[in-house]
Amino acid sequence: MSAARRRITGAYECARIQTLIAFTYRTDYLFNLVGLLLQVYLLRVVWTSVYGHRVSVAGVTLPTQIAYATLGTLQYWLFNPWGFSMIPERVRTGKIGVDLVRPVPFLHQIVSSQIGLTVGLAPFALVALPFAVLLGRAAGPASTGAGAVYLLSLVFGYLLTILLASIVGMMSFWTTEVSGTFMMYRMVSQFFSGALVPLWFMPGWLADLTHVLPFQATTYSPLAIYLGRVHGGALVTTLAVQVLWIGLAWLALRLTWARALHRVVVQGG
Amino acid sequence: MRTLRMYFLLYGAALRGQTQYRGNFVMMMFAGLAYQGVGLAFIWVLVGRFGGIAGWTLGQVAFLYGIRLTAHGLVTVPCAQIFSVDQILREGDFDRYLVRPVNPLVQVLTGSLSLQVFSDLLGGLIALGAAMSTVRIDWSAGALAFLVLAIVGGAMVELAIVLAFASLSFRLLSVRSLILLSLTTMQNFGNYPIAVFPAALRFVFTFLFPLAFIAYLPSTVLLHRTGELSVSPVLAWGAPLVGVLLFAAAYRLWVRQSRHYASSGH
């Protein structure tokens, strides 16, 4: 077997195991979904209430805003499961020692495991989708083109989500206990990703700040494209910004990993 | 009295155990504040942008949020362990609690401690303090007393709901997801004036899953908004009392259900 082929099979196996793990905890995920659907419903009620009789605010109609909230909530749930980086657990339990001698590079293991987990969660999201549409409201993509570009942008957003979470996960090589850091990262990234409030409703200074941070490229960008809020030259810029952040995040991850590797002390065994 | 003393002794021991990791303690406090802060940030941007929700101003919603979070903190600081009661039952730790001469519920509550809970209380007090300086309320001694009673009563309502679900664990063994779901529901829906919801949901949140009593009903009294209620204002004034009654009922349920405890066998 060629080296490249072996790597791909290895990465595939890492992903498959995570998919199985996701299914083992299916009852938990199902309850989790009920919570998610309630959240979708709550957002619809809240947005409807604040809109009142207004047809459109900041150029956004109520149905568009509800579709944004519904899709955004689902997308965020799928991309950010609670244990969204496996690194801290591997470091704390010392399993990292085994990971390092595997024939698949560690960074590939993390990324493919993360993809595997998402694949395992995707059926749950699919089950939730019709209910979410019923409880919230959905809108089709602004145009066929917008739909196609959305899918591309969604893949970019997903990759960036994984890379950013992995960088934060790497911190566990230095501090071992990262539950606090992780939770803080989760909250900050959720807010600035636009998953809660779209950038168009943020006060000017907050929107400016959000624009220069990488998080908006994970969630807000694909959704804005889907709903037709970004087109023409801005569309290209949005995609380019996503690619740029992915490149930067990948570089940062490699750098962090190169340093983290020197911190590994495998005890006993 | 003795039960209370035992509670404080055991709680102190659990607290000393956890505060050994100072760095993480500080981090968990910040994380907990961030967790609650994001919820408030959403409301702040939303209500700030649209000028109000269901006729409530930003300050009024923040006041409601502060009461709810402070009440939540009053539950989680002493009682967060109840959230993982099913694990204690499944792993047979409850056997140990039954043979020791202290109320088993006290032992469940003091078995371990998560430091993050202190940020619930701190965050709640900060939100409440900030809101109290912006909303116009005539702070007479009576109003202040009602506020304190309302927060304690709200905590008892929340605890009663959780304890009711927790007591199901004697038969069902796995109720963690159910408890978490009830908590997230209180956390998400409890932060808004119940008036924004359709009539059916208002009924559910008042009589079936009584989260309206945690913060919404008492805050309508303090904010002079009882006019918007679809139920009698007596319920809003009596919210603290409802908390006591619900808690008493939930505790009875817990004691009765605990008779169904079948040890996991050791």
Q: Which residues contact B149 (CB under 8 A, 6 or more apart)?
A: B240
Identify the CA nearest to A37 among candidates A158, A127, A161, A139: A127
Q: Which tokens hold the place of A152?
A: 């591309």
Note whether B223 and B60 are within 8 A (CB): yes
Chain A, nearest residue to B184 by Cα: A35
Distance from C-alpha of B170 to C-alpha of A41, rounded to nearest angstrom: 32
Cross-chain residue pair B177–A31, CB shorter than 8 Å: yes
Q: Is B98 on the interface with A (CB under 8 A)?
A: no
In B111-170, the residues whose Cβ lies within 8 Å of chain A are: 116
Torsion of CA A88, A90, A94, A95, to 10 degrees: 180
In tens, the pLDDT along B208-219 reads: 999 999 999 999
User: Most confidently modeled of A16-20, B71-75, B114-118?
Assistant: B71-75
pTM check: above 0.95: no
Judge residue A47's burial from the number of C-beta atoms within 10 Å of its C-beta, 0-12 exposed, 13-18 middle, 19 or more buried.
Answer: buried
Report the percentage of chain A scoring pLDDT > 70: 95
pLDDT at A54 exceeding the cut of 70: yes
Residues shown for chain B: 266
For residues B86 and B120, the model is more confident at B120
Of B31, B53, B185, the CB nearest to A49: B53
Mean pLDDT of A237-256: 95
Greater model confidence, A250 or B231? A250
Interval A129-151: pLDDT, tens: 888 888 877 777 888 888 899 99
pLDDT at residue A268, as a whole number: 53
Closest residue to A45, CB basis, from B46, B176, B197: B197
Alpha-carbon distance A52 to B47, whole Å? Answer: 12
- Lowest-confidence pick of A120-124, A190-194, B126-130, B160-164: A120-124
Hey, is the C-beta of A207 within 8 angstroms of any chain B C-beta? Answer: no
**CB contact (8 A) between residue B188 and residue A57:** no
Would you place residue B204 in the very low, low, confident or very high pLDDT band (cuts 50, 70, 90)?
very high
Contact B185/A at CB under 8 A: yes
Q: Does the pLDDT value for residue B238 go beyond 80?
A: yes
Q: Report DSSP letters for B227-263, one per residue.
A: GG-SS-HHHHHTHHHHHHHHHHHHHHHHHHHHTT---
Higher pLDDT: A24 or B81? It is: B81
pLDDT of residue A269: 46
Indicate the DSSP class of residue B194: G
pLDDT at B221 over 50: yes
Q: Is the pLDDT of residue B266 over 60?
A: no
Closest residue on chain A to B187 (Cα): A39
Asked if pLDDT for residue A238 goes beyond 80, the answer is yes
A196-211 confidence digits (pLDDT tens): 899 999 999 999 999 9
What's the mean per-residue pLDDT of chain B? 87
Mean pLDDT, residues A234-248 taken together: 95
Selecting from A35, A46, A184 the residue whose C-beta is nearest the C-beta of B184 gives A35
Residue range B220-243: average pLDDT?
A: 89
CA separation for the pair A11, A135 (Å, rounded): 38
Average pLDDT over chain A reads 85
CB B139, CB B228: distance < 8 Å? no
* Interchain CB contact of A213 with B (< 8 Å): no
Q: What is the pLDDT of residue B264?
A: 66
User: Over 70: is that where the pLDDT of A1 sits?
Assistant: no
Measured distance CA(B203)–CA(B230) in Å, rounded: 9
Q: Which two tokens stand for residue B71?
A: 């009440």
pLDDT tens across B25-52, in order? 777 788 888 888 888 899 999 988 888 8
- pLDDT of B145-182, one tens digit each? 999 999 999 999 999 999 999 888 888 767 788 888 89
Instruction: Report pLDDT digits (tens) over A55-92.
Output: 888 888 898 899 999 999 889 888 887 665 778 777 77
A196 contact B CB<8A: yes
- pLDDT exceeds cutoff 70 at A265: no
Q: Where does residue B52 fall: left (phi above 0), alpha (psi -120 to 50 degrees), or beta otherwise?
A: left
Question: Residue A252 and residue B113: Cα distance in Å, rounded?
Answer: 36
The ipTM value here is 0.83
* Higher-confidence position of A222 and A133: A222
Give the whole-number percent of chain B exceeding pLDDT 70: 98
